[in-house]
């Protein structure tokens, strides 16, 4: 049987009444969990996992993958509406989504987020269906040296993030790097760094309280600064019709969605990367390579599209190494890995052969889960939009409550709540002095990945930098990095020469 026939059989499995019911139920549950800041995909799936032990394995994984997909959709909503990203990949969505809400285009942003999530997710599922095992093996080629080179390449294109004042951007990025180094250094026998002897700091700073503080709390303080009593959209009523995407919108978002899907999916199946890095890098890539790039971050629909398509494509990408190799590529995949064993399946390269009904049932259910999520997502847009009509005096305290609950729930720790509030205050001061916030978060996500990869590479090579040039993939990536770094110089040399030739001609 070829893949197509197997998939059809998978659909047959997935289309039973019970499986459809759990797909829709899981989708709704996932949307709710995803939209709640602090409760991300990992926690959601981990907490609901025991519920599934009595189910048939296929039904169980359909339920969990619907929750997982719902999560990826839901994370965007609170980011767009309240500027509190529901999960970490939604940070980049909020960068453009929230300004859109303020401009009265919140409905459009939600619509675009749903559509992009759907396309990104579907793209990921199709590549999984056709190329699964091949892709998994390409992902394995990315070891410490290759990942280091990949991050270096990405870093060449983030100059824009630093904002108008270069030095302030550097300060912000340095702050992000500093925060990310706090905690136990797992690479050196568990040496604590910057913990000042306290046990609380040993666990390090969690990303979610940092983001909730720097986005949500700062948001509330901004709201309190102004004296208007209006709602976020200054009282204007939003109609559902306004939020539909018209032809020009579709045209604007189709290319970013394609970029986000391809890049996000690729990063998803690299070992140890994940949805957050995927949406960051796809956003940066789109900003660098498109005409609208310079306006991104000010409420461009393209920003929402590229970030959402990337993180959904990455979410599916993480399934590729899990199903094909038995190696979980993301935190949520680790939980599902545990689930597979509990249902009596053995994750590994033989899963496709020995449990083909299960695997194809799962892949079939991914298509169904994704369709269920977009239908639910589109239907609740009018309800979500009513949030935008709530007056500021009421919405501000509500946001504070959501922030506190979200920060607490990530590690069940009061420290995280205080840290979140502190981060909010500091971000507010920084923002009002023109220090940009995004570099802090980007540095916080990328710095640990970069540090671990480069240190692993140097451990393997006994400190010799040659390892980066001996491996073909990393050599190519480093070559590109150097090219991009030198390109402004080359451009100026060429234009100078041209000018000189022109002058000589005259």
Subset of 36-75 contacting other proteins (CB under 8 A) = 42-43, 45-47, 49-50
350 lies in the binding site for other proteins (CB under 8 A): yes
Subset of 185-204 contacting other proteins (CB under 8 A) = 186-190, 192, 199-200, 202-204
Rounded distance between C-alpha atoms, residue 169 and residue 300, angstroms: 22
Subset of 139-158 contacting other proteins (CB under 8 A) = 140-145
349 lies in the binding site for other proteins (CB under 8 A): yes
Subset of 200-229 contacting other proteins (CB under 8 A) = 200, 202-204
- Looking at beta carbons only, is 343 or 484 nearer to other proteins? 343
Q: In the chain, what is the straight-line distance between the N-terminal and C-terminal CA atoms, in Å? A: 72
Using the CB atoms, write b or e for 208-232: b if 16+ within 10 Å. bbbbbbbbbbbbbbebeeeeeeebb
CB of 147 to other proteins, least distance (A): 10
- Contact pattern for other proteins over residues 354 through 393, marking x by CB under 8 A: ----------------------------------------
* Residue-by-residue DSSP string for 199-217: SGGGG---HHHHHIIIIII
Rounded distance between C-alpha atoms, residue 114 and residue 118, angstroms: 6
Residue 346: DSSP 8-state: -
SS3 state of residue 39:
coil
Stretch that binds other proteins, among 157-165, 246-254, 453-461, 494-502 (CB under 8 A): 453-461
The answer to whether 259 and 116 have CB atoms below 8 angstroms apart is no
- Report the residue from 432, 459, 487, 499 that binds other proteins according to the rule CB under 8 A: 459
CB of 201 to other proteins, least distance (A): 8
Subset of 234-293 contacting other proteins (CB under 8 A) = 271-272
SS3 state of residue 148:
helix
CB of 89 to other proteins, least distance (A): 18
Torsion of the alpha carbons at 138, 140, 141 and 143, rounded to the nearest 10: 150
327 lies in the binding site for other proteins (CB under 8 A): yes
Rounded distance between C-alpha atoms, residue 401 and residue 399, angstroms: 5
Tell me how crowded residue 379 is: count the other CB atoms within 10 A of its CB.
9
- Report the residue from 2, 248, 462, 506 that binds other proteins according to the rule CB under 8 A: 462
- Looking at beta carbons only, is 37 or 169 nearer to other proteins? 37
Tell me how crowded residue 394 is: count the other CB atoms within 10 A of its CB.
9
Q: Which residues bind other proteins (CB under 8 A)?
A: 42-43, 45-47, 49-50, 140-145, 183-184, 186-190, 192, 199-200, 202-204, 271-272, 321, 325-328, 331, 334-335, 337-338, 341-342, 344, 346-351, 411-413, 452, 456, 459-460, 462
């Amino acid at each position: 049987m070829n893949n197509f026939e197997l998939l059809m059989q998978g659909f047959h499995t997935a289309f039973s009444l019970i499986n459809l019911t759990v797909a829709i139920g899981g989708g709704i549950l996932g949307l709710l969990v995803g939209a709640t800041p602090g409760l991300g995909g990992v926690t959601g799936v981990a907490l609901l996992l025991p519920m599934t032990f009595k189910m048939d394995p296929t039904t169980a994984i359909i339920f969990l993958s619907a929750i997982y997909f719902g999560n990826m959709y839901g994370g965007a909503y609170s980011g767009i509406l309240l500027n509190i990203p529901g999960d970490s990949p939604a940070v980049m969505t909020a960068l453009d989504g929230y300004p859109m809400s303020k401009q009265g285009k919140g409905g459009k942003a939600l619509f675009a987020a749903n559509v992009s999530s759907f396309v990104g997710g579907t793209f990921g599922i199709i590549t999984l269906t056709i190329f699964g095992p091949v892709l998994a093996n390409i992902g394995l080629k990315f070891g410490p040296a290759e990942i280091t080179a990949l991050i270096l390449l990405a870093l060449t294109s983030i100059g824009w993030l630093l904002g108008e004042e270069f030095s302030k951007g550097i300060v912000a990025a340095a702050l992000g790097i500093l925060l990310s180094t706090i905690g136990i250094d797992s690479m050196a026998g568990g040496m604590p760094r910057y913990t000042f002897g306290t046990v609380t700091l040993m666990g390090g700073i969690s990303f979610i309280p940092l983001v909730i503080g720097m986005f949500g709390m700062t948001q509330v303080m901004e709201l309190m600064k102004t004296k208007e009593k209006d709602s976020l959209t200054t009282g204007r009523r939003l109609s559902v019709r306004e939020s539909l995407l018209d032809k020009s919108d579709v045209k604007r978002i189709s290319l970013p969605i394609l970029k986000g899907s391809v890049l996000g999916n690729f990063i998803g199946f690299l070992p140890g990367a994940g949805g957050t890095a995927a949406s960051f890098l796809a956003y940066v890539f789109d900003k660098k390579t498109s005409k609208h790039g310079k306006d991104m971050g000010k409420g461009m629909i393209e920003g929402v599209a590229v970030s959402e398509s990337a993180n959904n494509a990455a979410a599916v990408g993480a399934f590729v190494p899990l199903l094909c190799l038995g190696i979980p590529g993301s935190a949520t995949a680790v939980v599902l890995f545990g689930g597979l064993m509990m249902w009596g399946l053995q994750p590994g390269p033989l899963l496709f052969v020995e449990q083909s009904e299960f695997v194809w049932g799962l892949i079939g259910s991914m298509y169904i889960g994704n369709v269920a999520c977009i239908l639910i997502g589109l239907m609740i847009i009018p309800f979500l939009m009513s949030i935008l009509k709530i007056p500021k005096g009421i919405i501000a305290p509500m946001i504070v409550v959501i922030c506190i609950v979200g920060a607490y729930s990530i590690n069940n720790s009061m420290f995280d709540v205080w840290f979140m509030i502190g981060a909010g205050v500091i971000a507010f001061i920084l923002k009002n002095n023109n220090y940009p916030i995004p570099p802090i978060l980007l540095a916080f996500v990328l710095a640990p990945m970069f540090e671990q990869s480069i240190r692993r590479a140097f451990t393997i090579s006994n400190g010799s930098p040659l390892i980066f040039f001996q491996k073909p993939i990393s050599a190519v990536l480093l070559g590109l990095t150097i090219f991009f770094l030198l390109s402004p110089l080359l451009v100026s040399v060429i234009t100078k020469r041209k000018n000189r030739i022109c002058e000589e001609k005259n």
